[in-house]
Amino acid sequence: MNPQLSPARTRSQSKKRRLKFLTALPLLFLLSACRENSASTGDPGKDGPQSGGPSQSHSEVYVSAGSFDMGSNYGEADEQPIIRVDVDPFYIDKYEVTNAQYKVFLAAVKNGAKRVLHEDCPKDKDHQPSPAKNSEINFRFPKDYFSNPKFDTYPVVGIDWYDAYTYAAWAGRRLPSEAEWEYAARSVENREFPWGSERPLTPTAKANYFNPRPNRKGRRDLERLDKFSTTAVFDHADGFPFIAPVGSYPEGKAKCGAMDMAGNVWEWTSSSYHLYGKKSPKNTKILRVLRGGAWDSPSSFLFRTSNRVSVQPNVRRVSIGFRTARSLKEGEK
C-alpha cells in the first residue's frame, strides 16, 4: 500500500473552530530499527520530482518498514475509519527545518540554483518567508524572527506548501507523506502522543504549545477540550513565549528519535487531503495536510499523532513550518 494516504474530511464543529484558530494566526525491536544519520545526498523521491541536492546537511533518523493502524476511533470524523497501512523504510529529519537552513536555500536560489517547482507553483515565486501579520505580532511574535541570527536555530515559518516542496527538492529530499509522518510519530506502539500517553506538561514539558492568553470564551473552550489546569497552560510552563529552538524538548521525542513532532510548528506533508480509504482528488486545486500542532495550538488534543488539519497549499502562518524526508537509495540499508 502506498504510504501517501492523505484524506479529506467531514468537518465537525470542533474542527472548524480549530481551523479558524489556525487561520487567525501543531520494544527493543524499535530501538534497533531506528538510527540517526546526517545526510546531504539526493533522493529520487516518490511524491514528486526531486533534484540532486546540494551540500545541505540534514540530521535525520531512520524509520524501519512496518505496518500500523492509521487514524483513531477517539478523534475527529476525518481520523476515521482506522486503516491498516504498510510503510516502506525511510529517513525523516530529526528536527524541523531551521531559519539557518532555509537561508542557505534562499542564497542558492538568488545565485541561480536550479529549482524544482510544483506544477501549480508560480514560476516567479521568490520563496521568502512571509512576515508576521499585525495580529500575530500582537501575540509577541518578533518582527525580525527570520532576519535576526539569534533565531537561526528556530524552525522557519511563514512558508507555504510550495516553498516547502521546492526547498525539499533543492536539498535532494522530499516532504514526508501523511502516513509516513504519522508512523514516525506514533510508531508500531500506537502512541497517542509521540512520547507516549502522558499530557504534554506532565510532569515536565514535552512540547511547546498555547502561549497566547485567550479571552474568557477561549478559556471555556480550552477547559472543555483539555483537562489541563489553566495555570499550567497560561503561565507558559513550556518555557518559551512563542516558538522554541528545535530540539528543546528531549522528553517529547518520538520512538524513532524525531524531535518536536508535537507542538512548536505545524508541519507540511506531501499528501493531498481526502477521506481515509478514498482516492486522492483528481483536480489540482487540492488541500494539503498539516500535522503536529503548534506553539499557538489551544489544546493538546491537536498534538495527538492521528490528528490532521487541511489547508490551502498557499497558506502562510507563523505557526507553520516543515521537516523533510527521503527514501532509501538503491542498496542502502
- The whole-number pLDDT of residue 139 equals 61
pLDDT digits (tens, 9 = 90+) for 72-128: 998 888 999 999 999 999 999 999 999 999 999 999 999 988 889 998 898 999 999
Q: Is the pLDDT of residue 150 over 70?
A: yes
Q: Mean pLDDT over residues 34-61, rounded?
A: 54
Q: Evaluate if residue 159 carries a pLDDT over 60.
A: yes
Instruction: For residue range 238-267, list pLDDT tens digits in order.
Output: 778 789 999 999 999 999 999 999 999 999
Is the pLDDT confidence value at 270 over 60? yes
- SS3 (DSSP) at 257: coil
The pLDDT of 302-315, averaged and rounded, is 94
The number of angstroms, rounded, from the C-alpha of 285 to the middle of its chain's C-alpha atoms is 21
Residues 208-242 have pLDDT tens digits of 887 544 444 445 445 544 443 333 344 456 778 78
Domains of the chain from N-terminus onward: 13-327 (3.90.1580.10)
Helix, strand, coil: what percent of the chain each, to 5? 25, 15, 60
27 has a pLDDT exceeding 80: no
pLDDT band at 131 (very low <50, low <70, confident <90, very high): confident
Asked if 272 and 287 touch (Cβ cutoff 8 Å), the reply is yes
3-state secondary structure of 68: strand
Q: What is the pLDDT of residue 275?
A: 86
Contact 93, 59 (CB under 8 A): yes
User: Residue 230: in which H helix or E strand, if any?
Assistant: helix 230-234
